[in-house]
Amino acid sequence: MIRLAIAALVGVVLSLLPPGKAAAQEAGGPDLQSILQQNAELVADASRRTVQDVLDILIESGLPEVPAFLATWQARELYQRESDGLFFYVEDPDADPLTLLDITSGEAVGTAGSREVAQLRPNRGVQGVIAAALVQFQLGSDDPAERLSALASIESDPDESHLAILRDMMETETDADVRRRVEALLPALVIAFADEDAPRIEAIQSLAGNVSLSARATLNPLLATTLEVAEALPEDRNVAAQIRPGRDALSVDDAYAMLVDAGLAPPLIPRSERVDVLAANILDGRVGGVPVAELNTEDARDRAYAALVEAGLADPAPTEAEVAEAVRSYVFYEVYRESSAAVTTAARETLEGIETRVGFYRVLDLSLDGLSLASIYFLAAIGLAITFGVMGVINMAHGEFIMIGAYTGYVVQSVVANETLSIAIAIPLAFAVTFAGGVAMERLVIRWLYHRPLETLLATFGISIALQQIVRLVFGALTQPLTPPDWLAGSVSLNDVVSISSIRIAIFILGAIFFVLLWLILNRTRLGLEVRAVTQNPAMAASMGINPDRINMLTFGLGSGIAGIAGVAIGLFAQVVPDLGANYIVQSFMTVVVGGVGNIFGTLVGATMIGSLQKAIEFLNPSNTLAAQTYMILFVILFIQFRPRGIVALRGRAAGD
């Protein structure tokens, strides 16, 4: 019910009521009911055209109960008693009889049947005018949230009366958020309602560099045009451009249609209608003096129709030459709906500057999207780069380790309700599960297939299918939820053009952490030294006491474990389904090939190139995202023709030495 809102509003207005007017009420001035009775007909039969007169009287009275009355009236909860015309609120509109409430005190003053009172139902137009009047009271509230709400109402339905109110608020507003809102809204109202060009131009120029949607929405209507036609270009109109039919966006046919609509040319008559006219005017085997037997060509039919027109038996039908001549005889032009040339010039120059800045931010936003996608591809491919680089194994089941990592996160989250804690548990657990799976796969299958790439590819492809089917049997084929924490649910916005989701930022940070950790492992630990030794020369490493078989096992497990962590990260924004990994295996291989196998820095560079290029292709062809995948494959094929070892070539077994 509106009763609580009314009570709160009355309290606010009482605190804001000027002392002089409050004293006047105490001195016995006219009460609200008396004022309404003096204007009872205007209240009962309010229209958009007349309601403002009543509102002016009520606001001028300064009565503290006016806001509550306006809110009730707007909500269609105001009643008028038929017997004496007095106005009342009711306690419960569904009760019978109705309990009548005094509009000043809010106290019950009696009852009435539903036939004894009439409910006032102002239409939408009247409700809008009342809402605009209520805004004035909301803007005077002590609560900043109330003032912000009022400013939002002004933005959605601005009125000329709001301009003076906002100017006053600029002088007195102390809340920073409200003041920023006023500063953003005031130029739009000045542009729309100021009487002179100078303040409007100043307001337009104040929007320079503002890339917000509201700023562009304010300026664009000033540059709206309508297409018109005249015998000569008007000198007293704000002409935007002269249009040449057939050469600009306006076709000759559309231009002639404009002439017809303006009554400046006779309408075109389709040939089918002309044939019907000819058939209706056959007389003694002739039409317009032309024998029917000769009406087998367009030229003959045109001559016959022209004869009928001359005889007054048919309407004129312009020929193509006449249409072209008529179009050339008139001037077609676009005229601004805004009459002031100075205003449109300022708006055009300001908007051009804004569009330039918007273009820059769009490039920045596209670059951030590319880096975000690159971080995802890096996480998905880094494990593959390690296993492929060290062992030369084409692991087609790598995507399934990503999928297992995602399902590990789902299982943990189904047990641990707290999203943040569940993700913190899922990341190391996913690494452990997929590390163990990778070690088992290497011990049971891969170790027997070294130096047999085709058999390795077929075996791992079979394993990938088997893992997908196992997951389908256990979890089903439907999408399983992996909910990100609340602090990852939003996005970070620089402005209305540039924004990136918090999850993508977290994945970017995770990718950077793993890059640093893997670099430290490979370059600052004994395990890393042994991995690099086996990578560059396994026979020499074995002669130095390093066990290549053990290194291969640990390396394959490490690569699989990293894929599991990538699965948890990817599952936070992608659908957790059994074929999740299949969506990333192609990109992972492309990233490894382009970057250079066995090198994490090369994988980083390759992921950046693949991610950025894919986003650029999607931007140029947004209606067909599948085309981006095709173009990327063609790019990789072309790239390896010129640099078969990748961007960062690695010497040793991974490079084919």
The residue among 194, 198, 216 whose CA lies nearest residue 207 is 216
- Helices (H) and strands (E) in the chain — how many of each? 27, 12
Give mean pLDDT, residues 494-517.
87
Greater confidence (202 vs 657) lies with 202
Contact 446, 382 (CB under 8 A): no
At residue 1, does pLDDT exceed 70?
Answer: no
What pLDDT is recorded for position 29? 63
Contacts 24+ apart (CB under 8 A), 535-544: 535/389, 535/390, 535/598, 535/650, 535/652, 535/653, 535/654, 536/651, 536/652, 536/653, 537/652, 537/653, 538/653
Strands, E assignment, 65-182: 78-81, 87-90, 98-101, 108-112, 117-120
Q: Which of 218, 211, 210 is nearest to 189 (CA)?
A: 218
Judge whether 551 and 530 are in contact, CB under 8 Å: yes
- How much is the average pLDDT of 394-419? 92
Is residue 26 predicted with pLDDT exceeding 90? no
- Amino acid at site 519: W
**For position 332, what pLDDT does the model report?**
94
Helix, strand or coil, per DSSP, at residue 266? coil
| CA proximity to 636, closest of 600, 604, 596 | 596
What local confidence, expressed as pLDDT, does residue 8 receive? Answer: 44
Indicate the SS3 state at residue 280: helix
Query: Dihedral sign, CA of 179, 185, 191, 193?
Result: negative
Q: Averaging pLDDT over each range in 53-67, 203-217, 462-476, 532-546, which range is the top one?
A: 462-476
> Does residue 498 have a pLDDT over 80?
yes
Sequential DSSP letters for 296-327:
TSHHHHHHHHHHHHHTTSS-----HHHHHHHH
The phi, psi pair for 572, rounded to 5°, reads -70, -25
Q: Is the pLDDT of residue 3 over 60?
A: no
Q: What is the DSSP string of 145-173?
A: HHHHHHHHHHHHS--THHHHHHHHHHHH-
- 501: which strand partners? 491
Cα torsion 89, 92, 94, 96: sign: negative
Rama region for 392: left / alpha / beta (φ>0; ψ in -120 to 50; rest) = left
CB 274 within 8 A of CB 346: no
Give 99's strand partners. Answer: 111
Segment 335-377, tens digit of pLDDT: 999 999 999 999 999 999 999 999 999 999 888 888 888 888 8
Long-range contacts formed by 497-504: CB under 8 A, 24+ apart: 497/211, 497/358, 497/361, 497/362, 497/365, 498/361, 498/364, 498/365, 498/368, 499/365, 500/365, 500/368, 500/369, 500/372, 501/372, 501/573, 503/572, 503/573, 504/372, 504/375, 504/573
Tokens describing residue 472: 């389908």
Gap between the Cα atoms of 136 and 151, Å rounded: 10
pLDDT of residue 174 exceeding 70, the answer is yes
Cβ contact 536:392 at 8 Å? no
Q: Is residue 655 scored above 70 in pLDDT?
A: no
Q: Enumerate the β-bridge partners of residue 335.
A: 226, 239
Of all residues in the chain, what percent carry a pLDDT higher than 90?
A: 22
Identify the weakest region by mean pLDDT among 3-7, 395-399, 573-577, 584-588.
Answer: 3-7
Cα–Cα distance, 143 to 131 (Å, whole number):
18
Integer Cα distance of 281 and 61 in angstroms: 79
Instruction: Report the DSSP beta bridge partners of residue 287.
Output: 290
What is the band of 614 on the pLDDT scale with cuts at 50, 70, 90?
confident
Q: How far apart are CA 597 and CA 579, in angstroms?
A: 25
Identify the residue with better confidence: 365 or 654: 365
Query: What is the 8-class DSSP label of residue 576?
Result: B
- Phi, psi at 401, each rounded to 5°: -70, -35
Residue type (1 letter), 429? L
Among 31-45, 242-256, 398-412, 534-548, whose mean pLDDT is lowest?
534-548
**pLDDT at position 352:** 93
CA distances, 150 to each of 2, 8, 163, 208 (Å): 17, 15, 13, 26
Q: Amino acid letter at 274? A: R
Distances (CA, A) of 179 to 133, 144, 175, 207, 391: 21, 10, 6, 16, 64
Q: Does residue 439 register a pLDDT over 50?
A: yes
Task: Tell me whether strands 239-243 and 98-101 are parallel, antiparallel or unpaired.
Answer: unpaired
Cα–Cα nearest to 40, from 83, 87, 90, 74:
87
The pLDDT of residue 227 is above 50: yes
Label residue 653 by pLDDT band (50, 70, 90): very low
Per-residue confidence at 13, pLDDT binned at 50, 70, 90?
Answer: very low
In sequence order, which residues have a C-beta less than 8 Å from that of residue 13 and are 6 or more positions away? 64, 66, 67, 137, 140
pLDDT band at 283 (very low <50, low <70, confident <90, very high): confident
C-alpha–C-alpha distance, residues 574 and 486, integer Å: 17
Whole-number Cα distances in Å, 496 to 210, 216, 269, 602, 622: 10, 11, 51, 35, 20
Q: Would you place residue 21 in the very low, low, confident or very high pLDDT band (cuts 50, 70, 90)?
A: very low
- The answer to whether residues 166 and 183 touch, using CB atoms and an 8 Å cutoff, is no
- What residue ranges do the domains of the chain occupy? 3-130, 143-223, 225-336, 359-650
* Range of weakest confidence among 9-23, 539-553, 572-586: 9-23
At 303, the amino acid letter reads: R
pLDDT score recorded for residue 409: 94
- pLDDT of res. 657: 46
Compute the distance between CA of residue 643 and CA of residue 656 in angstroms, rounded to an integer.
Answer: 13
Indicate if the pLDDT at residue 437 is higher than 90. yes
User: What does residue 566 show for φ and ψ, rounded to 5 degrees?
Assistant: -60, -35
Supply the mean pLDDT for the chain: 84
**What is the pLDDT, as a whole number, of residue 654?**
43
* Helix/strand/coil percent split, the chain, to 5: 65, 10, 30
User: How many C-beta neighbours within 10 Å does residue 26 have?
Assistant: 8
